[in-house]
Structure 1
Amino acid sequence: MSTFVFKTNQESDDFCKRIAGSMVELFCISREEAIRRINNQWRGVDLTGDMVELITHELPNDWAYIIYYGHGSRWWKRKDDPTLKPIPFP
């Protein structure tokens, strides 16, 4: 059984696990929090077929930032900005 609550195949499951690993390393969060944030990002999405190509065009580290800070956060321009805050985690 997958760690994730959305549909994956072997490739997308492995890729999402790499994203979780990046989140743990980059943001010093637990693996559980990283998995839950990824599940929140893609809940209800089918990450098989063409969707695998769509998500793997970004690097796992990039997805880690997108999921942690939000798509519209412009994190790539604000890495050293102390006002850059992660998406609240329940």
Structure 2
Amino acid sequence: MRESFEGNLLSFRVDSEGFLYVRDILIELSSRFPLSLQEALVLVNDHLRDQEIALGDLFYHETPEAWSKDMYWGHDQYWWKRGEERQAFGLPELKPVRPDRLETYELREGGQRQEGVEDMLFFPVRLQGELKKLGLLPDDHKKVWSAEALNYNVALEELYKYKGWGKYSEE
């Protein structure tokens, strides 16, 4: 799977952990913003063109959520500033993300991400076909849980409760 993903889809090189990390960024972009996986792939390729990403690089110092927001809105939009802080800096409000609508989200687990760490995918079911087509949904990943939610952030709140990770807080 990694070879077809890296060789046919990406304009940059990644190691096996980087492949999974980039996949997570693609899912974040397509879940959080009004983008298909193909559109997210173009955005990621434009952003990371001709780079080489390996475990331990500074690339991993940000979460897939942060990378998705940076790639979608741009770093110069100071997307991490909200409300009054945006106003104080004279920044316009960011255009809305995906509109609220009830969707089913699915958690799949399987394979190994790193030694002793199982790989996990959490995505809106509407992306399942595209994930399979692009080779991003491994056959060994089995559905372990699902939830219906009005948007991705609410779905993440439910996932955090289910996994016992505490309260989800958007970056």
RMSD of equivalent CA atoms: 2.2
- Measure, in 1, the Cα distance between the counterparts of 2:76 and 2:64: 18
Aligned partner (choices 37, 51, 58) of residue 45 of structure 1: 51
In the other structure, the counterpart of 1:63 is 67
Structure 1 residue 55: Cα displacement: 1.2
Q: Which has the higher helix share?
A: 1
Structure 1 residue 71: Cα displacement: 1.3
Give 3-state SS (helix, strand or coil) of 2:80's partner.
Answer: helix
Structure 1 residue 75: Cα displacement: 0.5
**Structure with greater Cα Rg:** 2
**What TM-score comes out, normalization by structure 1 length?**
0.79
Percent identity of paired positions between Structure 1 and Structure 2 = 29
Conserved? CA contact 1:78–1:84, under 8 Å: no
Q: Which has the higher strand share?
A: 2
In the other structure, the counterpart of 1:73 is 77
**In the alignment, does 2:24 pair up with 1:18?**
yes
Structure 1 residue 42: Cα displacement: 0.5
**Number of residue pairs matched by the alignment:** 83
Moved over 6 A (4+): 79-82
Structure 1 residue 77: Cα displacement: 1.3
Conserved? CA contact 1:38–1:67, under 8 Å: yes
Question: Mind listing any 5+ residue stretches in structure 1 that lack a counterpart?
Answer: 86-90
Aligned partner (choices 59, 74, 84) of residue 94 of structure 2: 84
Change (3 A) 1:39 1:16: same
Question: Mind listing any 5+ residue stretches in structure 2 that lack a counterpart?
Answer: 96-171
Structure 1 residue 59: Cα displacement: 0.9
Structure 1 residue 40: Cα displacement: 0.2
